[in-house]
Amino acid sequence: MLNYRTMLNISHNKLNTSVNLEQFQSSKKVFVDRYSKYFNRFLAAFAIILLIVLFLPWTQNITGGGQVTTLKPDQRPQAIQSPIPGRIEQWFVREGDYVKRGDTILKISEVKSDYFDPALVSRTGEQIQAKSQAVTSYEGKVNALDRQISALVNERSIKLKQTENKLIQSRLKVKSDSIDLQAARTNENIAERQYNRTVALQEEGLKAVRDVEDKRLKLQETQAKLISQENKLMASRNQLLNAEMEILRLGAAYADKISKAQSDKYTAQSSQYDTQAQVSKLENQYSNYEIRNTLQFVTAPQDGFINKALIGGIGMTFKEGDRLVTIMPEDYDLAVETYVEPIDLPLIHLGEKVRVQFDGWPAIVFSGWPNVSYGTYGAEVVAIENFISDNGKYRILLAPDKSDHTWPEAIRVGSGARTIALLDDVPIWFEMWRKLNGFPPNYYKPAMANNAKK
């Protein structure tokens, strides 16, 4: 203990015993019982006031920071991009100019060698015309082959009918020759019997030798006719076989001719379809080239004001998708996007009232007593993001509260804002106790949410 006193230079000698303080004027005014009485009264009054204040109502709230934006995505500032790479040739606007939808902002030129030809579109059209004529030629060839195939089919039908008629005639001739052969054989048998009978009679002396010779001659004639008729029958049968073979030959020959014509037809059709595919491809290229030529003029997507040229100068090159200039739409509905902690997200509901303080506008804010705040404006929750943002908080979108004061007209998109979401009313001592313990605000549901649920 002595060591501590030595280090702190603390002495056991009392100052009021060694020095008489009453001899000083300030001591005479301070060390008076009246001042102690007033000070005690002050402390008592302060304690009473503090106790009363602790039981005053306090509105729990969730504060957040954000910025002014627009209610609809198409009303927000946007950067105009070029879908093709190019080089800046001419600017038609200046920063701050007002443009209407479709107005030309700048002109660009091609940087790819595939599109340098200024007559690329017309020459592609000539290629389409030439290929289209080739398609017409192939169509004519296919039609000619169809006619050739039809002619071959008709010719085959006629030839087959002729050969079938010849076959029928051959069959009839074979039948006729067969009958004649039978007749010749019968005559030959009769002549032989007559000859034998005449010979027998001549031997008996009843017939002369001349009669025998006549019958022999007649027998030889009938035998000769029989041989001749057999030859005719064999010839007729050969003609029948030839007719049958001719039918088979004609079928094979015309099948080969028709197959060759059909093969040529299918080849022509294949070439026709291939050429049609080339025509379609060229037409696609033609349309792409026409659209690409229109893309050389960058136009305004909507009415608005030119904010900033992101790529300036003449002759500057850029890639496809690079941002060229930003534009601010003319008509827009203001809104505020704010961010809340994940622990406070369950306390925020659609349609809930929120107070907003804009940067640059004078305001006196009492977050716990919104009725005495000055310079804040009413807002309403219209959207709650379901996925956490990059800053680790959830995004809330606020729209102006139509039942409250109108937002200032001079507010611009992008300016800062502070938001206060009002929750449940609690005593101040409860709020202090909650803050000291790090508890979240009371779970709160607005009356409109309960009514909607019912």
Mean pLDDT of the chain: 81
Residue that finishes a domain, picked among 294, 316, 350: 294
Tokens of 374: 């000055």
164-179: average pLDDT: 84
CATH number for the domain that contains residue 312:
2.40.50.100
Nearest to 76 by CA among 404, 307, 396: 307
In terms of domains, do 275 and 142 share one?
yes
Lowest mean per-residue pLDDT among 11-20, 49-58, 160-169, 362-371: 362-371
Residue that finishes a domain, picked among 304, 328, 352: 328
Q: Please indicate, yes or no, if residue 157 is contained in any of the structural domains.
A: yes
Q: How many CB atoms lie within 10 A of CB 374?
A: 10
pLDDT of residue 99: 92
pLDDT of residue 223: 81
Confidence class for position 235, pLDDT limits 50, 70, 90: confident
In terms of domains, do 67 and 199 share one?
no
The pLDDT of residue 179 is above 60? yes
pLDDT of residue 284: 93
pLDDT of residue 376: 81
Nearest to 422 by CA among 354, 338, 366: 354
pLDDT of residue 4: 46
Q: Please indicate, yes or no, if residue 95 is contained in any of the structural domains.
A: yes
The DSSP call for residue 305 is E
pLDDT of residue 425: 67
Confidence class for position 454, pLDDT limits 50, 70, 90: very low
Q: How many CB atoms lie within 10 A of CB 285?
A: 16
The DSSP call for residue 441 is P
CATH number for the domain that contains residue 69:
2.40.30.170
Question: Which neighbouring-strand residues pair with 356?
Answer: 377, 419
In terms of domains, do 144 and 278 share one?
yes
Lowest mean per-residue pLDDT among 269-278, 370-379, 387-396: 370-379
Residue that finishes a domain, picked among 309, 328, 347: 328
Q: Please indicate, yes or no, if residue 115 is contained in any of the structural domains.
A: no
pLDDT of residue 427: 74
Residue 189 to residues 87, 116, 195, 198, 226, Cα–Cα distance (Å): 118, 107, 10, 14, 10
238-256: average pLDDT: 87
8 Å CB contact between 344 and 132 = no
Q: Please indicate, yes or no, if residue 258 is contained in any of the structural domains.
A: yes
pLDDT above 70 as % of the chain? 83
The pLDDT of residue 62 is above 60? yes
Residue-wise pLDDT for 300-359, tens only, equals 988 999 988 888 788 888 888 889 999 988 888 889 999 988 877 877 888 888 888 888
In terms of domains, do 309 and 414 share one?
no
Determine the 3-state secondary structure of 357 from DSSP.
strand
Domain carrying residue 198: 120-294
8 Å CB contact between 100 and 332 = no
Tokens of 168: 């029928």
| φ, ψ of residue 282 in degrees (nearest 5) | -65, -40
Q: Please indicate, yes or no, if residue 160 is contained in any of the structural domains.
A: yes
The pLDDT of residue 81 is above 80? yes
The pLDDT of residue 174 is above 50? yes
Residue 115 to residues 111, 287, 296, Cα–Cα distance (Å): 8, 14, 12
In terms of domains, do 401 and 307 share one?
no
Between CA 71 and CA 332 the distance in angstroms is: 8
Residue-wise pLDDT for 395-441, tens only, equals 999 999 888 888 888 788 888 888 887 766 667 777 777 777 766 66
Q: Please indicate, yes or no, if residue 90 is contained in any of the structural domains.
A: yes
In terms of domains, do 59 and 181 share one?
no
The pLDDT of residue 452 is above 50? no
In terms of domains, do 394 and 438 share one?
yes
Q: Please indicate, yes or no, if residue 248 is contained in any of the structural domains.
A: yes
In terms of domains, do 279 and 160 share one?
yes
pLDDT of residue 44: 85
- Number of domains present in the structure of the chain: 3
The pLDDT of residue 443 is above 50? yes
CATH number for the domain that contains residue 279:
1.10.287.620
Residues 6+ apart with CB under 8 A from 235: 177
In terms of domains, do 345 and 446 share one?
yes
Between CA 59 and CA 147 the distance in angstroms is: 96
In terms of domains, do 323 and 350 share one?
no
156-160: average pLDDT: 87
pLDDT of residue 100: 92
Question: Which neighbouring-strand residues pair with 305?
Answer: 98, 328
pLDDT of residue 22: 65
Between CA 20 and CA 23 the distance in angstroms is: 6
pLDDT of residue 5: 46
Residue-wise pLDDT for 103-143, tens only, equals 999 999 988 888 888 888 889 899 999 989 998 998 998 99
Burial of 211 per CB tally in 10 Å (0-12, 13-18, 19+): middle
In terms of domains, do 277 and 321 share one?
no
The pLDDT of residue 60 is above 70? no
pLDDT of residue 173: 83
In terms of domains, do 290 and 303 share one?
no
211-227: average pLDDT: 81
26-54: average pLDDT: 74
8 Å CB contact between 421 and 351 = no
